[in-house]
């Protein structure tokens, strides 16, 4: 049983350097947590970072190092062939930074007990995928990214199983907002905590948002690729009034974003009244808002750069190049209510983690 971890990329900007530093630290924390789990025979890191490769080997992982042009599906197939893998648990280096040893051990046991199965953490867009036999990945059209891997393996004949829903399973580090949420978690690994401590980011909006969630009958807007488990958890544990706008789940895995087919109700509203009008109205109906902005950007059919997306999450409108994204970000930052911007993980595992932390806080405060 092999845990295959992919973590690599290119440093293009100062922001990239900061984010990649955190990603490397999280990856090493995950490897340190998993090496030695009896049900997993080896941890195999695939990377193009020499320092990460050295750190992983020092922790007892094997490394498949390559600087060749990266294509997810072809690289995965090549790794399976080169290392003659039979059963695989695949994850990105930061796909599940709070995953526990017992979570992975349970996946490994399921793969041993069953044949021809694929286990995913998300039906629409998986980034944690366990499957056997591993050679099935050689029979599919190589996917561009991991989001569609689970779907393609199912189409190839494997029986799909879904991992039990939890914030640990659904939370990953796609954005700066995700990293700020990770910094607030007690289970954050030591290397990640040290790296996050060096980030000079403003946590004020996130902390204000947490304060609102502590209030009885607060009005909370959650918009984007929102799933039912998050809403069920909040409704079961908080006396809040939710306004949920769930749209375009699976837009990446289903190819809708790539084909320019994404449409958003909130996007149409923004088109009509503009960001200033939109956030002005939002202030009248909510005390806090959590927005998955990637749906809006895709609705606008704009190729928003990673630089602009991430600085939008951070509220740094002054350095954003795209005029519409800049206007949107400035309006969000100027609202009287805390507006938290991010991607899919914000309105799934991220918000769930914040909510779970507040539940624990409430229980500890009881006499």
Domain spans of the chain, in order of start: 2-170, 202-364
Residue that has been written with the tokens 């020499």 in this structure: 50
- Who contacts 141 (Cβ-Cβ below 8 Å, separation ≥6)? 73, 152
Given the candidates 3.40.50.970, 3.20.20.140, 3.40.50.1580, 3.90.550.10, the CATH classification of the domain at 2-170 is 3.90.550.10
Q: What is the phi/psi pair of residue 312, to 5°?
A: -65, -45
- Residue 333 CA from chain centroid, whole number: 23
Q: What is the reported pLDDT for 367?
A: 66
- Residue 262 CA from chain centroid, whole number: 20
Spell out a b/e string for 137-166, using b for 16 or more CB atoms within 10 Å of the CB, else e. beebebbeebbbbbbbbbebebebbebebb
The C-alpha atoms of residue 33 and residue 21 are separated, in whole angstroms, by 19
The C-alpha atoms of residue 48 and residue 342 are separated, in whole angstroms, by 27
DSSP strands (E only) in the chain: 2-6, 42-47, 62-65, 88-92, 117-120, 128-132, 159-162, 219-224, 241-246, 288-292, 339-342
Query: For the range 105-112, what are the long-range contacts, defined as Cβ-Cβ under 8 Å and sequence gap of 24 or more?
Result: 105/37, 105/38, 105/39, 105/40, 107/163, 108/1, 108/37, 108/39, 108/40, 109/39, 110/161, 111/1, 111/87, 112/1, 112/39, 112/87
Q: What is the reported pLDDT for 115?
A: 87
For β-strands 62-65 and 117-120, DSSP reports them as: unpaired
Intervals of the chain under pLDDT 50: none
The C-alpha atoms of residue 148 and residue 140 are separated, in whole angstroms, by 11
Q: What is the reported pLDDT for 313?
A: 97
User: What strands lie across the sheet with 62-65, from one edge to the other?
Assistant: 62-65, 42-47, 2-6, 88-92, 128-132, 117-120, 159-162
pTM: 0.89
């Amino acid at each position: 049983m092999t845990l295959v971890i992919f973590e690599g990329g290119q440093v293009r900007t100062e922001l990239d350097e900061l984010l990649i530093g955190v990603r490397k630290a999280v990856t090493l924390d995950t490897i340190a947590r998993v090496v030695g789990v009896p049900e997993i025979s080896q941890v195999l890191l695939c990377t193009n970072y020499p320092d990460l490769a050295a750190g992983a080997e020092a922790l007892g992982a094997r490394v498949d190092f390559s600087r060749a042009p990266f294509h997810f599906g072809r690289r995965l197939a090549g790794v399976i062939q080169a290392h003659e893998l039979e059963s695989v648990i695949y994850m990105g280096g930061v796909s599940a930074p709070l995953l526990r040893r017992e979570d992975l051990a349970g996946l490994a046991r399921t793969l041993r007990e069953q044949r021809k199965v694929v286990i995913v953490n998300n039906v629409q867009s998986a980034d944690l995928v366990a499957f056997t036999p591993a050679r099935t990945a050689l029979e599919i059209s190589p996917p561009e990214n991991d989001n569609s891997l689970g779907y393609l393996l199912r189409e190839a004949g494997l029986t799909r199983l879904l991992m039990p829903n939890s914030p640990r399973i659904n939370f990953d580090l796609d954005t700066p907002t995700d990293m700020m949420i990770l910094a607030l978690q007690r289970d954050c690994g030591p290397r990640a905590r040290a790296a996050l401590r060096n980030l000079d980011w403003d946590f004020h909006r996130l902390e204000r948002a947490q304060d609102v969630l502590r209030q009885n009958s607060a009005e909370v807007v959650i918009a984007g690729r929102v799933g039912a488990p998050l809403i069920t958890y909040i409704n079961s544990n908080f006396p809040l009034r939710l306004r949920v706008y769930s749209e375009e789940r699976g837009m990446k895995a289903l190819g809708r974003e790539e084909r320019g087919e994404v449409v958003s109700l909130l996007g149409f509203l923004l088109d009509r009244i503009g960001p200033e009008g939109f956030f002005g109205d939002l202030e009248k109906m909510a005390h806090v808002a959590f927005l998955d902005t990637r749906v809006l950007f895709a609705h606008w059919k704009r190729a928003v750069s990673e630089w602009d997306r991430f600085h939008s999450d951070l509220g740094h409108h002054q350095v954003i190049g795209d005029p519409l994204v800049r206007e949107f970000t400035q309006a969000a930052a100027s609202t009287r209510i805390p507006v938290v911007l991010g991607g899919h993980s914000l309105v799934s595992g991220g918000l769930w983690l914040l909510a779970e932390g507040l539940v624990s806080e409430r229980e500890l405060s009881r006499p």
